[in-house]
Structure 1
C-alpha cells in the first residue's frame, strides 16, 4: 500500500475544510427525507414501519414536510462535515509524521488502528457542532404539523426556547451531548476506517494510485462505509434522539444517558435500540456515497 502524500499547513487544512463543506451540503440535500422518517420512528410509536411513516407524512403534511428543519442542517452539517474531514486529515498527517519519526529510513504507512483513531478524533471534534445542530433539527422534525399547535417558529426560536426551558444554553441546547460524543467517536472512527480500507485495498489490488480509482468506485466504497457507520453506532443514536425529544422539568423522562439506556432496555428490549434502522441504512448508502465522492473529487480538483 502506498503511503499517502504528506503535507500540511494552513493551505492544505483549508482545502480539506472546503471539500468537506461541499460534501456536507450534498449530504443534507440527499439525506434529509430519510432522516425525518428515521427520527419519527425512533421517537414515536405512531408508525409501524418506514413506508407507513413516509405515507403518513406525505398524506398529512405534504411533500415539503420531508425537508422540515432543513435550514439548520444545511448551514450546520456543511460546517460539521467540513470539521470532520479537516480534523481527520490533520490527525492522519500527525500519524504519518509520527510514523516517519519512529522509522526515518522506512516510514510505516498509517495503520488501520490509526485511521480509526483519526476518525474518532474527527467525530469528537465535530460533536461540539453536531450536538446542538441535531438537537434543533430533531425538535423541528417532531413538532406538530398544524400551525396552531406548532412549538417553534423556526431554528432561532427553537434555540431560544430550548435555552429558556433547559435553564441556559449549555443544559438546554446541549441535551444528550454525552451520548452524542460517544456516537460520533464510534461512528466516524468506523466510517473513515472502512473507506480508507476499501480505497487502499482497491489501489493495492490493481497496482494503481488512489487518485486513479474511478469516481463510481469512490461513491460505492463511500456508500459501504456509510452502512458500516450506522451498524456500528445506531444504538447510541436512538438514545440521543430520545434524549433530544424529551421534555423539561416535570415532563422529563430521562435523567441521564444511562437512565435512557436502561428505560429502553426495560420497555423494548434489544430491539428498541434498532428502531428505524431500515430507513437509516437506505439513507446511508446514497448519502455517504455522495459525500465521499463529492469530497474526493473536490480535493482532486483543488490539489
Structure 2
C-alpha cells in the first residue's frame, strides 16, 4: 500500500510540473510574440521584409512597418495558434524532462552533463512530435504579409481555417522531389495530411542540440552556482532568470542553422505550392543565395527573442512549481 501511495503522489507531481511548464511557456511566448513574428519573416526570406534583415535596427524597422500596416494585431499575427500549441508543448516538455531526469539521475551523484543532455533532447523530441502541425500552421500565419497575401489585403487578420485549408490543398496537389525515395510519390499522393509535417525531419534534428544544450546548461549552472546543500545560495527568481537566459543563448547558438532550414521548408508550400521542397534542396538554395551567412540570418533577433523567452520560461516554471508544491 505505501508504494502505491508513493507512485500516485509522484504521478501527481509530474502532472503539476507539466501544468506549470505549459503556463510558463505561454507567458514566455507572449512576452516575445512581436519579435517572433519578425524573426519568422526574416528566416523565411519574406520578400517584403528582406530589406531589413542583417542589421541591428532591422527588427525595429520591420516591427514598425508591420504596426503601421495592420496595427498591434499584426505584431501578434499567428499568436493564437501559438498559445494553442505552446501550452501542450511546454507541458509535455517539462513534465517529460522531470520524469526522464528522475529516471536517468535518481540521485545528485548520478547527474552528469551527458545525462542532462539526453534528458533534455528526449523531452524536446517527444513534445515536438505531439505539437508539430500546430507549429507549422503558426509559422504560415506569421509569414503572410499584406502585399504577398490576397486574403490579408481584404481582411485585418489571417484566418486559422484558411491556413489549414491552404496547407491541406498543398498536400493534395504537391509533387515529390525530382529524385524521390522508394514509395515517396505514392505516400505524398495518398496522404495530403503529410503537408502538415513540412520540415518535420529537420525539426527533429534541430531539437536534439537545442533542447539538449538548453537543459544541459540549465542543470549544470544550477548545480554549480545553486548547489542543493548550500544554505546561502537558494534558488531565486533572479537566479532562475539569469541561468535560463544563458541556457537559451547556448541552445540557440548550437541549433540555429537547422532552425533556418526548418522555417524555409515550412513555408515552401507558399513559395512553390506545386511541389515538395526537401532538406537537401533547401540547404542548396540557402547556400547559393547567401552562402554560410544565410544559415544565420536573423540570429541577432533570435537572441533578442530566445534569451528573454527562455529566461522567462524557466523562471515561471520554477515559480509555478513552487506554487503548486512540486
**Conservation of the 8 A alpha-carbon contact between 2:167 and 2:269:** no
Deviation readout 1:144-193 (Å, 9 max, x if unpaired) = 33798127952233223312321345321111100111111211101111
Which residue does the alignment assign to 1:265?
287
Q: Over residues 70-109 of structure 1, what are the superposed CA-to-partner deviations in whole Å (9 max), with x where a residue is unaligned?
A: 1101111011011110111111111024xx6xxxxxx732
Residue equivalent to 2:62: 53
The aligned residue for residue 294 of structure 1 is: 316
Cα distance in 2 for partners of 1:243, 1:77 equals: 21
Among 157, 166, 182, the residue aligned to 2:162:
157
Confirm or deny that 1:84 pairs with 2:93. Answer: yes
3-state SS in 1 of match to 2:253: helix
Give CA deviations for 1:190-228 in whole Å, capped at 9, x if unaligned: 111111111111123993487x22111111111111111
Gaps of 5+ in 1: 1-5, 101-106
CA contact (8 A) 2:139 2:267 kept: yes
User: C-alpha offsets along residues 41-91 of structure 1, whole Å, 9 cap, x if unaligned?
Assistant: 112243323233122212222222110011101111011011110111111
Residue range with higher mean Cα deviation, 247-256 or 63-72: 247-256
Aligned to 2:179: none
C-alpha distance in 2 between matches for 1:250 and 1:283? 29
Whole-angstrom CA distance in 1 between matches of 2:232 and 2:132: 37
Contact 1:50 1:278 survives alignment (8 Å): no
Gapped runs of 5+ residues in structure 2?
1-5, 53-57, 173-190
| 3-state SS, counterpart of residue 111 of structure 2 | coil
Q: Tell me if the contact between 1:166 and 1:248 (Cα under 8 Å) persists in the aligned partners.
A: no
C-alpha separation between the residues in 2 aligned to 1:286 and 1:201?
22
Q: Residue 35 of structure 2 contacts residue 59 of structure 2 at CA under 8 Å; is this kept in 1?
A: no
- 2:277 aligns with 255
Separation (CA, whole Å) in 1 of partners of 2:262 and 2:148:
27
Instruction: Report SS of the residue matched to 2:32.
Output: helix
The 1:10/1:156 distance shift into structure 2, 3 A limit, reads farther
Choose which of 55, 58, 71 in structure 1 pairs with 2:80. 71
* Deviation of the 1:256 alpha carbon: 1.3
Matching residue of 2:266: 244
For residue 240 of structure 2, what is the aligned residue in structure 1? 218
Supply the RMSD in Å over aligned alpha carbons: 2.6
Change (3 A) 1:52 1:208: same
Shift in Å at residue 10 of structure 1?
Answer: 1.8
The answer to whether residue 189 in structure 2 is matched with residue 189 in structure 1 is no
> Under a length normalisation based on structure 2, what TM-score does the superposition of the two structures give?
0.81
The question of 1:134 aligning with 2:156 is answered: no
How far apart, CA to CA, are the structure 1 residues paired with 2:321 and 2:262? 33
